[in-house]
Chains A and B, each alone.
Chain A
Amino acid sequence: MIKIEGLKKSYKDVTVLDVPFLEISPSECFGLVGNNGAGKTTLFRIILDLVRATQGHVFFEGEDVSRSETWKSKVGAYLDEHMLLAFLTADEYFDSLRKIYGLSTEDLSQHLDKFKELFNDEILGKKKYIRDLSKGNLKKVGIAAALLGNPATVLLDEPFENLDPSSQNRLKRFILQEKELNKIAFMISSHDLSHVTDICDRIVLLEKGKVIKDLIEKESMVMELNQYFDQ
């Protein structure tokens, strides 16, 4: 589904990302881990064509993401709060997205119903602009927005960060459920090893822009990661 070929990103002469080849298959839950500055967010941004690649290409279902934009309706993403329109309320924001994705109000309310548990009555129907929401609630709005419009793939950057423990567990259950029911492929970056190893089938470890481990074995995953981060 997502195929990366000869990808390189450099700022001046510093190479921050160097991924010769990487393929992510449909309905796979793909986890990305690595220390600060490993290049996780940069990789996400290049996949989403938010940042130019210095070299190489990213393909979504065979389409070069920097050449066409039709893939955008099939890829949902939430990387940071800049992706939201801060001057709208959450309801208005979802409604705007509904129009952009061409959904009916039925579709939207059905979609938002799925988040009832995660939202915990703090998001919808509140007279509060997105800019005034707490960091955790911003994240919830962003995640719900990323999943709108039946995307095939959803990219989430640090989805568990800033969430309270019960929300973290709810989100985890939600992701697993969406993967099962709607065959959505997730790409998740996280510093929380226990969460990613719980939900992901495959984990790639980045260090200084390079893929240094590609783990598929559920059993050895945890151990290998712990070993690496314990150094």
Chain B
Amino acid sequence: MVTQFIKWEILKLVRSTSYARSLLVGILLVGLGILLLSYVLLMGIALKPIIVQGLEKDDAILFLNSILIYFFLFEIIYRYFVQGLPVLELESLLHLPITKSWIIRFLLIRSFISPLTLIPLLLFSPFAIMEIAGTAGNRAAFSWLALVLLTSWSLHWFMLWFKQRFEDSLIGVFIIFLVFLLGSGSAYFGFYNIGEIFQPIFSLAVESFYPALVMLLVFLGAFFLCYSYYRKHAYLEDLTQDEEIKFANQSLGLFSRFGQVGEMADLEWKLIIRHKKSRSYLTLSAFFLLYGLIFYANPAYQTEEGFSYMFVFVGSFITGIFMLQYGQLFLSWNSGSFDFFLNKKNGLESLVKGKYLLFIAVSAICFLLSVPYVYFGWDILLIHLATFIFNVGIVIHMVIYMALWKPKPMDLNKGGMFNYEGVGVTQFLMVIPLMVAPYIVFLPFALWINDYAGLMALAIVGAVGIFAFNYLAGFSVRRVLNNRYEISSSFRQEL
């Protein structure tokens, strides 16, 4: 049965109409993944020298134990954004004589086979083998490593449950932000030190097996929590998203001034707020508005002159995260009703331009909401302004042009259960090339003249982009128009 399922997975992938895109993205991801994992391994090997020589701590084990909790807090956050459950067509299997429990177990175990599972192993096993085994013996090394791995792996099950349970609710984002505050609050403001609080537990693991044993129970408990939750929701009604009309008549008034294009932007806005999957991108934008707090308040990024170059990255993210993430699935959002737009006079052109309008509007809102960061200095406001202009003038065209390559159909009306196609690791990694663009403009001027000249350059290039908007948008519009038969047939086929 397992081989049958795996065979199906492969066939589904190979036969999907967006296979070429998936393949390319896949190769890119595998390459990037291997690279990142090898960095993790290198860091694991260098962990002791970093602590002893770099940070000048005498007792490497004690020090590592006192900061381990921060690693797990960080892990919670990255798992929240990156980890997903494999997609499965549950509705085509439920009526067959395969037990639900078998299907769910298959799904869960498959989700466990992931690079995220390897990270703690690569990062901490060299330290356990080289340092702990050396000073405290093999048993100690084993029990310590077991505790660390089981903690991380418990988080895997826990996050699978958590993401689905609090999907599309602000509570989820709120809890994650709380976790985040918990870490940064203790580190930067010094009210308390959670590192110190948890250190004895990890230190105890060097001496006895009990912490690892307790963690094993937690691990099993988290698995069953996850398992029973998914098992209980293996019903058709949880697969289709049947919600009452929320946000009815919530048109964004400002769009009405742009004629048919504005109408399309307004339709798109309704599409976003009425589907879970797309709403999660709005929540993400809200979360990233707070992202600046990590960097701007952090003493590590304070410089004597000008500002940290990292801030350009933060600024681009804060003002552009929505277009960067949502824009990657540019036409996929409309795959269900693409023929509707084909069928209208100037439909496709207004659709594309309407999306442009929407992205610009959301970006502008994010910029305005980020103005209070001026509290951390006028520099921040300037950075946000420059990156905003650059995003709207240049990045927007890059995102859309890239997204138009073999768009993938997507079923918006499926609920999130067993169908988590929202924000995932792919979406995050695809952003990387786009994040390089502002630096290509910024760095030369920043290095040769000064940081503000770099910002000026960003703003000027962005402004040129804005003036050339119609010309640049024309590329994307023509691309959609030229490929319309191909796109619409690929949208009609799959799913």
Query: A-side interface residues toward B, CB under 8 Å?
Result: 11-12, 45, 48-52, 69, 72-73, 75, 77, 79, 82-88, 92, 96-97, 99-101, 129, 131-132, 149
C-beta contact mask, B232-252 vs A, less than 8 Å → 1, else 0? 000111000010100000000
Jot down 21 A-B pairs with beta carbons below 8 A, ordered by A: A49-B235, A50-B236, A51-B237, A69-B100, A72-B96, A72-B98, A73-B97, A75-B95, A82-B92, A84-B92, A85-B89, A86-B92, A86-B494, A87-B8, A87-B15, A88-B8, A92-B11, A99-B1, A100-B1, A100-B4, A131-B495
Task: Please give, as numbers and ranges, the residues of chain B lying within 8 Å of A52 by CB-CB distance.
Answer: 235, 237
A28 → B minimal CB distance (Å): 21
Q: Does B468 make an interface contact (CB < 8 A)?
A: no
Nearest residue (CB) in B for A69 is B99
Q: Would you call the interface of chain B mostly helix, strand, loop, or mixed?
A: loop
Q: Does B303 make an interface contact (CB < 8 A)?
A: no
A51 and B16 form a contact (CB under 8 A):
no
Partner of A85, one of B8, B16, B494, B495: B8
B236 and A51 form a contact (CB under 8 A):
yes
Task: Please give, as numbers and ranges, the residues of chain A lying within 8 Å of B95 by CB-CB distance.
Answer: 48, 50, 72, 75, 77, 79, 83
**Which of B92, B97, B236 has the most CB atoms of chain A within a 10 A radius of its CB?**
B97
A45 and B236 form a contact (CB under 8 A):
yes
Task: Please give, as numbers and ranges, the residues of chain A lying within 8 Å of B94 by CB-CB distance.
Answer: 48-50
CA distance A97 to B4 in the complex (A): 10
Nearest residue (CB) in A for B17 is A131
Q: Does B482 make an interface contact (CB < 8 A)?
A: no
CA distance A86 to B244 in the complex (A): 29
B-side interface residues, number (CB < 8 Å): 25
A85 and B97 form a contact (CB under 8 A):
no
B155 → A minimal CB distance (Å): 30
B73 → A minimal CB distance (Å): 37
C-beta contact mask, B79-106 vs A, less than 8 Å → 1, else 0? 0000000000101101111111000000
A123 → B minimal CB distance (Å): 18
Partner of A72, one of B4, B97, B493, B494: B97
B181 → A minimal CB distance (Å): 36
Q: Does B478 make an interface contact (CB < 8 A)?
A: no
A96 and B8 form a contact (CB under 8 A):
yes
Q: Does B12 make an interface contact (CB < 8 A)?
A: yes
A97 and B96 form a contact (CB under 8 A):
yes
Nearest residue (CB) in B for A151 is B97
**Which of A52, A87, A129, A131 has the most CB atoms of chain B within a 10 A radius of its CB?**
A87
CA distance A83 to B4 in the complex (A): 17
A15 → B minimal CB distance (Å): 15
B242 and A11 form a contact (CB under 8 A):
yes
Task: Please give, as numbers and ranges, the residues of chain B lying within 8 Å of A75 by CB-CB distance.
Answer: 95
A95 → B minimal CB distance (Å): 10
CA distance A129 to B95 in the complex (A): 21
Task: Please give, as numbers and ranges, the residues of chain A lying within 8 Å of B236 by CB-CB distance.
Answer: 45, 50-51
Task: Please give, as numbers and ranges, the residues of chain A lying within 8 Å of B235 by CB-CB distance.
Answer: 49-52
B229 → A minimal CB distance (Å): 15
Nearest residue (CB) in A for B100 is A69
A129 and B91 form a contact (CB under 8 A):
no
A85 and B92 form a contact (CB under 8 A):
yes
Question: Known contacts being A69-B97, A129-B15, is A86 close to B237, with CB within 8 Å?
Answer: no
Among residues 60 to 92 in chain B, which have CB atoms less than 8 Å away from a CB atom of chain A?
89, 91-92
Task: Please give, as numbers and ranges, the residues of chain A lying within 8 Å of B8 by CB-CB distance.
Answer: 85, 87-88, 96
CA distance A45 to B12 in the complex (A): 26
Question: Known contacts being A85-B8, A97-B96, is A131 close to B493, with CB within 8 Å?
Answer: yes
Task: Please give, as numbers and ranges, the residues of chain A lying within 8 Å of B96 by CB-CB distance.
Answer: 72, 97, 100
A83 and B92 form a contact (CB under 8 A):
yes
Task: Please give, as numbers and ranges, the residues of chain B lying within 8 Å of A96 by CB-CB distance.
Answer: 4, 8
Partner of B97, one of A45, A82, A101, A131: A101
B454 → A minimal CB distance (Å): 49
B242 and A87 form a contact (CB under 8 A):
no
Task: Please give, as numbers and ranges, the residues of chain B lying within 8 Å of A84 by CB-CB distance.
Answer: 92
CA distance A73 to B236 in the complex (A): 19
A100 and B237 form a contact (CB under 8 A):
no
Partner of A87, one of B4, B11, B244: B11
CA distance A99 to B11 in the complex (A): 17
A102 → B minimal CB distance (Å): 9
C-beta contact mask, B473-495 vs A, less than 8 Å → 1, else 0? 00000000000000000000111
CA distance A88 to B92 in the complex (A): 12
B94 → A minimal CB distance (Å): 6
CA distance A149 to B16 in the complex (A): 29
Q: Which 3 A-B pairs have the closest CB atoms?
A: A73-B97, A72-B97, A82-B91
